[in-house]
Amino acid sequence: MSFAGYFSHSAVADRELFEAITSELQRQQSQIELIASENFVSKEVLSALGSVMTNKYAEGYPGKRYYCGCECVDVAEKLAIERLCLLFDCKFANVQPHSGAQANLSALYALANHGDTILGMSLEMGGHLTHGASPTISGKWFNAIGYGIDKNGFLDYDGVQKLAKEYKPKVIICGASSYPQKIDFKRFREIADSVGAYLFADIAHYAGLIVAGLYPSPINHAHVVTSTTHKTLRGPRGGVIMTNDEVLAKKINSAVFPGVQGGPQMHTIAAKAVAFGEALRPEFKEYAKHVLENSVTMADRLKELGLNIISGGTDSHLSVVDLTELSITGKVAAEELDKVGITCNKNAIPFDEWPPSQTSGIRVGSAAMTTRGLRRNEFIKIADLIYKVLSNYEKSDYESVKEEVRKETLDLCKKFPLYS
């Protein structure tokens, strides 16, 4: 039976939705997925997500619920907590946040009060919306100060120290959404201690690499650590919060529920437990090793072809590609690549002259296609295809170039089937 067969009941009950689901399956199967924040979960994770756990209301925490009948979902949540603590060698964990954004909001709610000063990486420099960007709650509820990177694309730790000394933040946030290099969590803790601030590390992008020992862990440096579960950790969409401080653990639990959200999504928590179990296996470390190798390979090949890679390369699963030399915006580049079956996202480069709606770069990641089995040779090929499209944009034979590349992407995807 094809994977679409799992949704066959929808073909009768809700034809329109069934077609949307199967079309999305076909899109995923036929495109090269380079969005750094996406991955492909296992069928076991999908099965847990679609389980009867979704029927249960379970406000509260294991053993302390507001509803009866929670003895089975308690087992699932305890498993998720135990496995997450094993993965990151931490003492306390909350697996209930519905998303990374809610995990981050809960962490701030536990650590700071309305109006307090927070110091986080600026969105335009590679930070995340939830680290103090003006349109978000973190930017509206707190006095948010942003730090950045230097002209070479590396974190400006001296600049962070200077801002911390000047503004005396209650919380310093480290972590990023488009920073490819390793973060010095120890240095961040030293800065935080020097001004009496909490250090809050968001490892949403790097979690899977940290589990595999390929990227530094903040667990012994940060007071609180948050992550999503659906990027390099290869789990369902959701968030988690970790700490080694028992007092903070209690504050975090209260911040998540009832502070920020109500009943937990028990089907998602069950799926998190499945994914954490998968990440504890030796095969996951092998997978993460290939994620890093493939990312470095793609970045190096794009450099060989003449494109500028922000910070000169990558120590993680992602790279930010500066398109200035090609005179094409990130928006146009992402749209044109999508037309040939290569999915990525527009991304600002440091000190970008284009607005966020356009940008001067794109962000590319290796985690999803590594899950499908692609290795170094295939990622060299992908880099070549990216360059072939973008370097020929607006040339007379561009349409024929796109047709050629689309055929090549389809052929590559067929060699590495998804959910076959």
pTM recorded for the entire structure? 0.95
pLDDT value at position 10? 58
Residue 2 has pLDDT above 60, yes or no: no
Residue 24 has pLDDT above 70, yes or no: yes
Residue 298 has pLDDT above 50, yes or no: yes
- For residue range 139-177, list pLDDT tens digits in order: 999 999 999 999 889 999 999 999 999 999 999 999 999
Taken in order of first residue, the domains within the chain and their CATH numbers are 49-279 (3.40.640.10), 285-415 (3.90.1150.10)
How many distinct helices (H) and strands (E) make up the chain? Answer: 16, 15
Q: Which pair of structure tokens corresponds to residue 122?
A: 């600026």
Max intra-chain CA distance, the chain: 68
Which amino acid makes up residue 300? D
Residue 222 has pLDDT above 80, yes or no: yes
H/E stretch holding 377 reads: helix 376-391
Angle at 301 between CA 350 and CA 359, to 5 degrees: 25
List, in sequence order, the alpha helices (H) in 204-348: 207-211, 246-254, 266-279, 282-304, 330-339
Q: Which residues contact 60 (CB under 8 A, 6 or more apart)?
A: 66, 67, 257
Give the DSSP letter of residue 11.
Answer: H
Model confidence at 40, pLDDT cuts 50, 70, 90, reads very high
pLDDT value at position 377? 98
pLDDT value at position 270? 98
Phi/psi of residue 172, nearest 5 degrees: -110, 125
Q: Which residues contact 341 (CB under 8 A, 6 or more apart)?
A: 30, 31, 32, 405, 406, 409, 410, 413
> Rounded distance, CA 27 to CA 115, Å?
45
> Rounded distance, CA 206 to CA 209, Å?
5
Q: Which pair of structure tokens corresponds to residue 128?
A: 């995340």
Q: Which residues contact 29 (CB under 8 A, 6 or more apart)?
A: 413, 417, 418, 419
- For residue range 98-129, list pLDDT tens digits in order: 999 999 999 999 999 999 999 999 998 989 99
3-state secondary structure of 257: helix
**Mean pLDDT of the 10-16 span:** 75
**Mean pLDDT of the 5-17 span:** 68
Residue 285 has pLDDT above 70, yes or no: yes
**Mean pLDDT of the 219-248 span:** 98
Contact 169, 197 (CB under 8 A): yes
β pairing state of 224-228 and 342-343: unpaired
> Rounded distance, CA 150 to CA 119, Å?
17
Q: Active-site residue numbers?
A: 57, 59, 202, 228, 231, 237
- For residue range 354-403, list pLDDT tens digits in order: 998 999 999 999 999 999 999 999 999 999 999 999 999 999 999 999 99
Model confidence at 1, pLDDT cuts 50, 70, 90, reads very low
Lowest-confidence pick of 9-18, 89-98, 180-189:
9-18
Which residues on neighbouring strands pair with residue 394, listed in sequence order? Answer: none
Q: Which residues contact 286 (CB under 8 A, 6 or more apart)?
A: none
Contact 295, 319 (CB under 8 A): yes
Residue 64 has pLDDT above 50, yes or no: yes
pLDDT value at position 12? 66
Q: Which residue has the higher pLDDT, 210 or 5?
A: 210
The helix, strand and coil proportions of the chain, stated in percent and rounded to the nearest 5, come to 50, 15, 35
> Rounded distance, CA 304 to CA 272, Å?
39
- For residue range 75-85, list pLDDT tens digits in order: 999 999 999 99
- For residue range 336-346, list pLDDT tens digits in order: 999 999 999 99
Residue 3 has pLDDT above 70, yes or no: no
Residue the block writes with tokens 């799992």: 6
Residue 9 has pLDDT above 70, yes or no: no
Contact 36, 367 (CB under 8 A): yes
3-state secondary structure of 33: strand
Residue 268 has pLDDT above 90, yes or no: yes
> Rounded distance, CA 306 to CA 406, Å?
22
